[in-house]
């Protein structure tokens, strides 16, 4: 018998029991905030994430003898507590793993899937595409979660600890609380209006009807109980059990406050969608760059192919000797070309004929690289090439626009004392996901299906990213591991940021590998993001610099983006040491930790 989902129709009746779900916001701090440090060097393994409590959860597992996969799951679960608007068991992600024993890279596609009843008209209403906001905060945008299945697959294949033990730090964190910081409050404020549409979300994240106060302790006992249940029953509780029943009920009858006036369109998720879900073990993408092997995630994500193609385009330019102007110009143009091809060719390979190997061939990259001129700028939107039949400097067909992708994903990077490495990016899509909290469960559902194209940009041109039954929407997630000539790790990294993930990973890699920047400085460097659009986004460090005018003089156009991405990374050093690195400033700074710091 399916357990009923409790519907709460107003936020005003707040009792003491309700207050315990989202802790009241006292004026003064009640717990000491964990310290964030953007770089750490030492032995025994390393963890880098956006959050100190989450990094500490991974370090705790490593200190107790767990491996990189164990620590990655523990860190991800903790991020579901402290970064609930970016990740959680209501979402999905992509997991890239380096096995030190075999010196090989393997991956898991844990992307969410559309219901088996979905078709290409999923986001059409009266024959017209829905407005993005209407699709986001609805049951229509929710895909079958992939994160729990990713954890199960990774642990079954490469882990050494039981799920319950790995969820314990996150369960404790949810029960006892974490310290609210300025980023958490700002993200809550940005979502306050739509959070109030859904009483369960408002009750949890707007304690006593107010924004959480910086320095206060935020508790989520519902999520603590959910993690405890997952620990006892395994993730089958989601795909064939009570938690899954609650997800289905919530998607199909979104618990909206009638007084809000919000039309929370129902989805069509069913128990059979959850039961049919599979996190896919698959080979990584691979390309070589400066003699190094670059491994990432293959489609359904476009990250590995697009970063790889851009690197191949840049291979013929000695970026170590290029001026700052030449370096940024080449980075922008390579990104523009790779995104033009992404829009035409990338989709779920279970449904689309994706020419992955051809997109990653050096022959194809060379045929595209000749489009780049040092004294002129390519016009966007640039038409794609045909990787199956490369013709030098040729473009064909119509350009496909870059679809919107939410920017508030999260990424973690882990290494252990045996030399195993994980780069793992997980998400619930945009900040706050769908905005819909599963009643009594303490987590927000994703809005990943809005990564699909709502309708073809041109009915005469095939769009590989239209919805379909059980189809995975295209992603830009790009967890990446770089190996040396002996197949040993050099660096592993990734970032949140929607479509800007690709350009962030590309720029960080070239800054580190070509420009000689220390890893933490390559992460901190101001970013440029071109995604086959008429203008390139610049962070303030570039937008306010003399470089902008010099690039404009050859034809570039720019717009300001206050913050692009939030990278974390690990680097293998000599003598068994690891360097963990994260952001210095973005998203309040990241958290790098090692098991035993080097003196």
- Cβ within 8 Å of residue 170, ≥6 positions away: 57, 74, 77, 78, 80, 81, 227
CA 508 – CA 520 distance, rounded (Å): 10
Residue tagged active-site, from 82, 409, 427, 431: 409
Q: Are 145 and 235 in contact (CB under 8 A)?
A: no
CA 181 – CA 35 distance, rounded (Å): 12
CA 263 – CA 445 distance, rounded (Å): 17
C-alpha R_g of the chain: 23
CA 76 – CA 62 distance, rounded (Å): 14
Q: Are 102 and 252 in contact (CB under 8 A)?
A: no
State the CB neighbour count (10 A cutoff) for residue 391. 12
Q: How far is CA 62 from the centre of its chain?
A: 23
Residue among 314, 304, 316 nearest 356 (CA): 304
Sort strands 558-560 and 536-538 into parallel, antiparallel or unpaired: parallel
Residue carrying structure tokens 């659009």: 533
Q: Are 303 and 102 in contact (CB under 8 A)?
A: no
Helix (H) or strand (E) holding 94: strand 92-99
Which of left, alpha, beta for 430 (phi over 0: left; psi -120 to 50: alpha)?
Answer: beta
The residues that bridge with 538 in the sheet, in sequence order, are 528, 560
Q: Are 127 and 141 in contact (CB under 8 A)?
A: no
CA 338 – CA 507 distance, rounded (Å): 14
508 is catalytic: no
- 3-state SS record for 422-442: EEEEEECCCCCCCCCECCCCC
Q: What sign has the CA pseudo-torsion 122, 126, 129, 134?
A: negative
CA 381 – CA 250 distance, rounded (Å): 39
Burial class of residue 1, CB neighbours in 10 A (0-12, 13-18, 19+): exposed
CA 596 – CA 599 distance, rounded (Å): 9
- Cβ within 8 Å of residue 101, ≥6 positions away: 418
Tokens standing for residue 238: 């989601």
Tokens standing for residue 227: 């993690």
CA 215 – CA 212 distance, rounded (Å): 9
- Which sequence positions are flagged as catalytic? 409
């Amino acid at each position: 018998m399916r357990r009923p989902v409790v519907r709460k129709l107003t936020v005003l009746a707040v009792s003491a029991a309700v207050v315990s779900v989202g802790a009241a916001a006292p004026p003064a701090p009640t717990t000491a905030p964990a310290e964030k440090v953007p770089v750490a060097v030492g032995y025994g393994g390393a963890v880098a994430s956006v959050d100190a409590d989450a990094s500490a959860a991974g370090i705790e597992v490593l200190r107790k003898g767990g491996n990189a996969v164990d620590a990655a799951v523990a860190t991800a679960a903790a991020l579901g507590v402290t970064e609930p608007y970016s990740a959680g068991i209501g979402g999905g992600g992509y997991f890239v793993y380096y096995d030190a024993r075999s010196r090989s890279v393997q991956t898991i596609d844990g992307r969410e899937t559309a219901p088996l009843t979905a078709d290409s008209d999923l986001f059409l209403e009266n024959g017209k595409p829905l407005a993005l906001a209407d699709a986001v905060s609805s049951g229509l945008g929710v895909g079958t979660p992939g994160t729990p299945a990713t954890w199960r697959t990774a642990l079954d294949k490469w882990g050494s600890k039981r799920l319950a033990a790995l969820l314990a730090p996150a369960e404790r964190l949810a029960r006892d609380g974490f310290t609210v910081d300025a980023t958490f409050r700002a993200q809550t404020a940005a979502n306050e209006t739509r959070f109030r549409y859904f009483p369960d979300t408002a009750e949890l994240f707007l304690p006593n009807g107010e924004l959480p106060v910086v320095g206060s302790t935020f508790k989520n006992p519902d999520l603590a109980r959910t993690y405890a249940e997952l620990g006892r029953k395994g993730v089958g509780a989601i795909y064939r059990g009570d938690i899954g029943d609650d997800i289905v009920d919530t998607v199909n009858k979104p618990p909206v406050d009638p007084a809000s006036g919000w039309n929370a369109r129902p989805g069509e998720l069913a128990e059979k969608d959850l039961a049919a879900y599979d996190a896919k073990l698959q080979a990584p993408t691979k390309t070589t760059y400066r003699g190094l092997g670059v491994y990432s995630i293959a489609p359904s994500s476009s990250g590995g192919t697009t970063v790889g193609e851009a690197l191949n385009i840049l291979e013929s330019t000695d970026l170590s000797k290029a001026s700052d102007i030449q370096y940024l110009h080449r980075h922008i143009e390579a990104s523009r070309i790779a995104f033009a091809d992404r829009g035409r060719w990338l989709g779920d390979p279970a449904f689309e004929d994706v020419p992955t190997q051809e997109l990653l061939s050096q022959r194809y990259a060379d045929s595209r690289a000749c489009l780049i001129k040092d004294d002129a700028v390519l016009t966007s939107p640039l038409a794609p090439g045909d990787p199956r039949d490369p013709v030098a400097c040729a473009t064909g067909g119509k350009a496909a626009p870059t679809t919107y992708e939410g920017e508030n994903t999260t990424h973690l990077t882990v290494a252990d004392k045996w030399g195993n490495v994980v780069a793992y990016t997980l998400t619930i899509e945009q900040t706050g996901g769908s905005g819909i909290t599963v009643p009594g469960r303490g987590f927000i559902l994703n809005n990943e299906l809005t990564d699909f194209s709502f309708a073809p940009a041109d009915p005469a041109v095939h769009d590989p990213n239209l919805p379909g039954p059980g189809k995975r929407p295209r992603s830009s997630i790009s967890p990446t591991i770089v190996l040396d000539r002996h197949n040993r790790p050099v660096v592993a990294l990734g970032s949140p940021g929607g479509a800007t993930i690709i350009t962030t990973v590309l720029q960080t890699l070239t800054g580190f590998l070509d420009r000689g920047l220390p890893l933490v400085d390559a992460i901190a460097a101001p970013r440029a993001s071109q995604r086959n659009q008429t203008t390139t986004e610049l962070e303030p460090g570039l937008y306010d610099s003399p470089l902008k005018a010099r690039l404009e003089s050859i034809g570039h156009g720019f717009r300001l983006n206050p913050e692009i991405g939030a990278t974390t990374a690990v680097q293998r050093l000599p003598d068994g040491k690891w360097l963990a690195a994260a952001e210095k400033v973005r998203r309040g700074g990241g958290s790098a930790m090692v098991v035993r710091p080097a003196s």
